[in-house]
């Protein structure tokens, strides 16, 4: 391992409390260990985003369809990524909430971009990409 360096971090009390709870639940020995792991994870993600490789997978999301302009935004985003989207299914969970599953196939970077754009739409409570493979190399 290369030399360890120290640096200071400023963080809101509330966020730190949540972080400490997370550390405990995930059995990290201390905050530094958890932060190092998170940084590595983000760096790996960054590599994926730049990759030209193709994947297949599904984006699952839950949103409140009453939120203003939400449906328009989601549809606009999906139209700009129609080359990566194979199909989608919409399920009405209850009066307010919807579950949508978007089946994707395409360049990893594009699929990630699609996921992060959908996630950022106001009213989207959760969006997560389940990564699979086209299966050619396995
Ligand atoms: Ni619905």
Q: What is the extent of the structural domain holding 43?
A: 13-50
Residue 5 lies in a domain: no
Q: Are 70 and 100 in the same domain?
A: yes
Burial code (b: 16+ CB inside 10 Å, e: under 16) for 2-18 equals eeeeeeeeeeeeeeeee
State pTM to two decimals.
Answer: 0.68
Residue 18 near residue 92 (C-beta atoms within 8 A): no
Judged against a pLDDT cut of 80, whether residue 99 lies above it is answered with yes
Q: Which of 61, 60, 63, 59 is nearest to 97 (CA)?
A: 63
The answer to whether residues 59 and 123 belong to one domain is yes
Do 30 and 89 belong to one domain?
Answer: no
Q: How far is CA 120 from CA 5, 19, 114, 127, in A?
A: 33, 22, 10, 9
Q: What is the pLDDT of residue 134?
A: 82
Residue 91 Cα to ligand 1 middle (Å): 6
Instruction: State the distance from the centre of ligand 1 to the C-alpha of 119, rounded, in angstroms.
Output: 17
Whether the predicted pLDDT of 93 surpasses 70: yes
Question: Does any domain span residue 136?
Answer: no
In a domain, residue 17? The reply is yes
Same domain for 108 and 71: yes
CB 21: neighbour CB atoms within 10 A? 10
- Asked if the model's pLDDT at residue 35 lies above 90, the reply is yes
Given a cut of 70, is residue 97 above it in pLDDT? yes
Q: What pLDDT is stored for residue 132 in this prediction?
A: 87
Query: Same structural domain for residues 115 and 75?
Result: yes
Question: What's the DSSP call for residue 51?
Answer: -
Q: Which of 127, 122, 77 is nearest to 100 (CA)?
A: 127
Helix, strand, or coil (residue 62): strand
What is the Å distance from ligand 1's center to 113 Cα?
A: 24
Distance 35 CA to ligand 1 centre (A): 38
Looking at the fold, whether 36 and 102 belong to one and the same domain comes out as no
* pLDDT tens track for 19-34: 999 999 999 999 999 9
Instruction: Please check whether residues 24 and 77 belong to one and the same domain.
Output: no
132 Cα to the center of ligand 1, angstroms:
26
CA of 62 to the centre of ligand 1 (A): 10
Which CATH number is 67's domain given? 3.30.70.1150
Query: According to the model, what pLDDT value does residue 1 have?
Result: 59
Q: Using CA atoms, how far apart are residues 59 and 102, in angstroms rounded to an integer?
A: 5
Q: Total structural domains in the chain?
A: 2
């Amino acid at each position: 391992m290369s030399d360890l360096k120290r640096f200071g971090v400023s963080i809101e009390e509330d966020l730190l409390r949540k972080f400490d709870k997370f550390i405990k639940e995930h059995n990290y020995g201390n905050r530094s260990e958890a932060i190092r792991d998170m940084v590595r994870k983000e760096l790996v993600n960054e590599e994926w985003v730049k990759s030209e490789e193709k994947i297949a997978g599904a984006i699952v999301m839950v949103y409140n369809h009453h939120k203003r302009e939400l449906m328009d935004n989601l549809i606009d985003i999906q139209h700009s990524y129609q080359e990566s989207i194979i199909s989608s299914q919409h399920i009405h969970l209850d009066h307010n909430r919807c579950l949508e599953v978007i089946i994707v196939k395409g360049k990893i970077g594009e699929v990630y971009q699609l996921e992060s754009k959908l996630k950022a739409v106001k009213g989207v409570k959760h969006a997560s990409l389940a990564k699979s493979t086209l299966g050619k190399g396995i």
